[in-house]
Structure 1
Amino acid sequence: MFSSPLVIELPSSMQMTDEQFFEFCQVNRDLRIERNQFGQISIMPPTVSETGNREFNILGQLWFWSEKDGTGICFSSSAGFTLSTGAERSPDAAWIKLERWNNLSPAQKQGFAPICPDFVIELRSPSDNLPTLKNKMAEYMREPGIQLGLLIDRQQRQVYLYRPGQPEECLDHPDTVSCEPVLTGFVLHMSKVW
């Protein structure tokens, strides 16, 4: 087992198409795989148990709010999305407005949907490099459709808020994080995340 992402670079003559990358991920479904816009493939280590519990708590809060709100749908870290740059990303939690999701074809929904979520959360695990995660959040913020992103750093008890066209905002030791106005009424309670 490795403790940080394994990055695989393929020669330009061996770059995978989107369909081939999707098939590669399906054949290796027990691995957490992403691909950046340059074709580099990252294989992430499994989430440690404690981080998995915190991620589940975040997903539970988002799902509960989403079910009551009814204007969009949630996704776990198992869902992949193809960004406009060609990168395939799997945020730890995501939410997409129904109107945007419903504009995709059934075939697009069956693969790594060609859409960037409206809202993404990345939870830093002990093996994650903070600058790398910040770059990933900046990548999301350049995408059409994204409205808000949270990067949660449990080690430092900080939450970084990302909004398109705005500088990152850092909250130190927050008890709650409001996701207004993008997710009306959604407040992430941090007690079980910390």
Structure 2
Amino acid sequence: MQMKDCRCLVTSFEPLNFPPNIEECAQRCMKDGYVDVEDILELPEANNKTEQHVRNIVRKDDKRRFALRESRGILQIKATQGHSLEVLKLELKPVTHYTEVRCAVHGTRIRNWESIKSKGISKMGRKHIHFAQGERGVKSGFPPYCDMAIEVDVKKAMNDGIKFYISENDVVLTEGRNGHILPKYFKKAYKINTREELPF
């Protein structure tokens, strides 16, 4: 999804007051143009709107500017008419040494942990797996709805040939290997609220 497509997704959905942070929304888009509704609604700027608000507005939209689907039990939305649906091409800086990354923390939900600790972190149809360079106080790369975090050993992964990049807004990105970062690269996994570490 290009910048103009994500701008349409956010600004033309005025009844929802979607957040104006266009770049961050675009980075979360799937290859086919879909983005998780919860990624948008969990942002403070969404003003406590719900998935039902989204469903109602899409249903009543005579122009059919948006499409909904459910994937893995998660509601997703995309802009439909007149959009190229290409992934936003970010300016990415290749990481040449692991010390360039302060840390790489992936936020997720505990409900996904059983699958992740078995199969690893998946890019799930996106271009990259996203990591924040920290947990608290970061503006990008760490979705606010997450209740657990996984810290990845960038040094170990890079030693095995996995490439990392840093985006303009300081998000660490990787395609992993075959779209995954395997559990052998996990440094630790923990619940955010209690700091309880999870075995893997």
TM range (shorter): under 0.3
Larger radius of gyration: 2
Query: Which protein has greater RCO, CA pairs closer than 8 Å, 6+ apart?
Result: 2
